[in-house]
Amino acid sequence: MKKILLLLFVLFSISASASHIAGGNLYYSWISGNDYKLTLELYRDCSGISAPTSVTITADGALSSSTVSTTLNLVGSGEEVMLLCPGSISLSTCSGGTYPGYQKYTYTGTITLSVNDQWTMYYEDCCRNGAITNISGASGYGILIDAFLDNTVSPVNNSSVFSNSPIMVMYANQFYQISNSAIDPDGDSLSFSFRPPLDWNGGDSIPFAIPYSSVNPFSSSTTISMDHATGTISATPSAIQTFVMCVSVSEFRNGLLVGKTNRDLQYLVINGANQIPTLSGINGTSSFYISTCPGTPLSFYIDSSDPNSGDSVTIEMDSTLQNSSLTSSGGNFQTATINWTPTMADVSATPHLFTLTARDNYCPFAGVQTFTYEIYVTPCNSDSVWPGDVNYDLISDLYDMLSLGLAYGDTGAARIGATTNWSAQYCANWSGSFVSGINHKHADCDGNGVVDSSDISVINSNTGLTHFKLEEGDNSFDRSIPTLSIQIAADTVQSGSQLNGSVYLDDSGNDLQNIYGVALKVSASQNVIDSSTFISSANGWLDNSTGIINWNKSSASEFDLVFVRKNHIGVDGHGLIGNFSFMVPWGSMGVADFTITEAKIISASENEVQVNHVGDNAFILLIDGTNEIGEPILNLFPNPVSNILNVKADQPVSRIKITDACGRILFVSEKTLSNFSINTENFESGVYLIEATANGSTSRKTFVKL
């Protein structure tokens, strides 16, 4: 009884001095043109004043020194954050009780942000809770919740979004995994970090009370650590306190920072006899990541446990893993089985993150802990490792031992989610290779990044097993003959932009003899080709300044290329044959596989040269949202441009204007056209903005002058 009274006293004391804002996060998503949808999530302490019905968001442009603002309106009403057990919810301050309660309020609206700037958007308010212990004089500081967009790197971006509800009440002296998992609609690489809380009226960092800091924001008997790839924080809160902790997630595209999203939240650490539940890794192990292939059904289980044998534990899953399912079984401690079949659209160099929350039935405050899991979906048809097939001859046998000896001691990238099961497993190439050209990664049978004695047992286990690993197309890959391949220049291509590719004919670096012509048919796995913009060029070794016929024909999902000499003399060489490019239509998305379905190589003596066919793929990044009614959709090609810029609109435009980065007008045309060409020969190298107006609506796109 004394413990319960003490707990109530502590909780009441913490709540009594609370203000209404306990934290929040701000998101943005692109609509069209320069317009973005903003979403602000605010967490309100129910013992404070009421939540506002609308909020103001301000955006400051660092490069233009401009400021814009907008109003976001409340969507629905506040939703209580589940901190109490079901039987105690009515006793929270949100329902007029005494137990601490919090509600989440969501506000939405739109804002217009000009291009070629670095925007910081923010909401600010006063004041923070005076009971906060890791900030001295906390009630004298306000709160600022912000997000960042750099549209000088990319004209379009969607911010990452935190995928789980925060755990705002924790038990002292319990080891916690505090999840801050996020998803990125654009597939950008994410990096998580701590950051200091910000004050209102200027956004200055708020100093922490000694001994706290942004990376050590609360008292913990174990080292506070963060997994910077997932945002998971590990710690053991050791003091009864109210503290503020801020987490930032940065988005990187091609190695450049394009945006940031931040979460600023207030947490409570309370005393109590409850011990919190935990979840296992994949299939009951300690590993929280797994690798799989597109089109392969994936199924694994997660076990729950709780030191309090009388408790029951339920498992909840967030909604980030689309088209997946969770089924629960077992008695008091549930086992969750996750089933998911990824598609080619799910192939990504970054993992798919999802969270599972374990919740016990302890009252009044349930024990809650959230765990983050990673699923890597890799293109397993792209030269994957089959454990035991060291020499890559489609079988694990005694001859693989010879190759193992040749690669013994070499090191390289370990396979993510490695297993010794006989299955295709993606791995990045190592620096070492056999004379045959086979990469040494195939000798790392157990996937630990080292070729050593442990790989021998894998060959033993898989001896006699075969696989029918094919390269792109229907032809079995024969390493004794040359290879005709297409290569897409960029792994990720934005919907509505230009895709560039090349054709190569190679024989492991050796010159092919007396080659005269190359013809190939390429099929795309989806309609990603704007055939009216398809161009090709013969600028490789087949055309050695003697003239060549360069011919192409294309449709929405297929194109033909022919490069043939016309002087009746063959040529020796290897490598680049030619290039091609086309615009990807607006609205395209997912992984597009480009497969060489037919090919014919001829020599000057009219003999046919047998070759392997190897294709490639590109991730088509969907630009989420549609243009406003009447707003023209523009395609620019080539982009970057050396001389003539071709512009194609979906409707006649009445005015075209081009400005440079300083806003100077360099070109204006008021002719009504849908397709036109602009000579940029006299433009200096740099980034330019083109504006097209149709029916009173204007679209803007950027292009690069080389």
Q: 83, 169 in Cβ contact below 8 A?
A: yes
Six-digit token string for 549: 């016929």
Which pLDDT does position 467 carry in this prediction? 62
The residue-averaged pLDDT of 155-183 equals 89
Residue 479 to residue 611: CA distance in whole angstroms: 9
Per residue in 575-632, pLDDT (tens digit) is 889 889 898 887 776 667 788 888 888 888 877 888 877 766 665 654 433 343 445 6
Per the model's pLDDT, the better-predicted residue between 230 and 264 turns out to be 264
Give the mean pLDDT of 86-109.
90
Residue 436's pLDDT is 57
The per-residue pLDDT for 39 is 96
Report residue 371 as tokens.
Answer: 């765990």
Is pLDDT of 335 > 90? yes
Q: Which residues contact 497 (CB under 8 A, 6 or more apart)?
A: 583, 584, 639
List alpha helices for 328-414, DSSP H.
399-407
Give mean pLDDT, residues 150-155.
85
The pLDDT value recorded for residue 497 is 78
CB of 386 closer than 8 Å to CB of 345: no
pLDDT over 60 (residue 19): no
Confidence of residue 254 (pLDDT cuts 50, 70, 90): low
Q: In whole angstroms, what is the distance from residue 405 CA to residue 201 CA?
A: 67
Out of 112-121, 269-278, 503-512, least confident range: 503-512
> So what's the pLDDT on residue 61?
94
pLDDT at position 59 is 96
Q: How confident is the model at residue 336 (pLDDT cuts 50, 70, 90)?
A: very high
Q: Is 298 or 612 the better-scoring residue by pLDDT?
A: 298
pLDDT category of residue 507 using cuts at 50, 70 and 90:
low
Sorted by sequence, the CB contacts under 8 Å of residue 537 that are 6+ apart come out as: 550, 578, 579, 580
Burial (CB < 10 A; 0-12, 13-18, 19+), residue 298, is middle
**Cβ–Cβ < 8 Å for 254, 203:** no
Question: What pLDDT score was predicted for residue 12?
Answer: 37
Helix (H) or strand (E) holding 9: helix 2-16
CA angle 234, 243, 259 (to 5 degrees): 70
Does pLDDT of 469 surpass 50?
no
Confidence (pLDDT) at 15: 40
Mean pLDDT throughout 189-198? 90
pLDDT at 632: 67
* pLDDT value of position 621: 57
Contact 314, 368 (CB under 8 A): no
Q: Please, what is the average pLDDT of the chain?
A: 83
Query: What is the pLDDT confidence band of residue 55, given thresholds at 50, 70 and 90?
Result: very high
pLDDT band at 343 (very low <50, low <70, confident <90, very high): confident
pLDDT of residue 385: 86
For the cut 70, the answer to whether the pLDDT of residue 492 exceeds it is: no
State the DSSP string of 309-328: TT--EEEEE-S-STT-EEEE
Give the pLDDT confidence of 637-653 residue by residue, as tens digits. 777 777 888 887 777 88
How many whole angstroms separate alpha carbon 419 and alpha carbon 446? Answer: 6
pLDDT at 631: 59
In angstroms, the CA 700 to CA 687 distance is 13
The secondary structure of 556-596, three-state, reads CCEEEEEEEECCCCCEEECEEEEEEEEECCCCCCEEEEEEE
Phi, psi (deg, nearest 5) at residue 432? -90, 150
For residue 331, report the phi and psi dihedrals to the nearest 5 degrees.
-90, -120
pLDDT higher at 319 or 446: 446
Least confident of 376-380, 473-477, 506-510: 473-477
Which whole number is the average pLDDT over 259-263? 95
Q: Which residue ranges form the domains of the chain, and what is each CATH number?
A: 2-168+179-225+235-270 (no CATH), 278-377 (2.60.40.10), 483-621 (2.60.40.680), 634-705 (2.60.40.10)
**Amino acid found at 541:** W
Q: What is the pLDDT of residue 411?
A: 94
Percentage of the chain with pLDDT > 90?
31
Q: Which residues pair with 193 in a beta bridge?
A: 248
Please report the pLDDT score of residue 474 as a whole number: 35
Provide the H-helix boundaries in 440-510.
Answer: 454-462
Q: Which helix (H) or strand (E) holds 354?
A: strand 352-360
Both tokens assigned to 230: 């997932």
For the chain, the straight-line distance linking the first and the last C-alpha, in angstroms and rounded, comes to 77
**Closest-CA residue to 97 (of 10, 11, 3, 167):** 11
**Which pTM value belongs to this model?**
0.56
Q: Name the token pair of 584.
A: 């990807």
Residue by residue, DSSP assigns 10-79 as: HHHHHHHT--SEEEEEEEEEEEETTEEEEEEEEEEETTSPPPPSEEEEEEEETTT--EEEEEEEEEEEEE
As a whole number, mean pLDDT of residues 6-22 equals 47
Starting at the edge strand found earlier in the chain, the sheet holding 298-305 runs 278-279, 298-305, 335-340, 325-329
Residues 6+ apart with CB under 8 A from 549: 562, 563, 564, 565, 566
d(CA 262, CA 124) in angstroms, rounded, equals 13
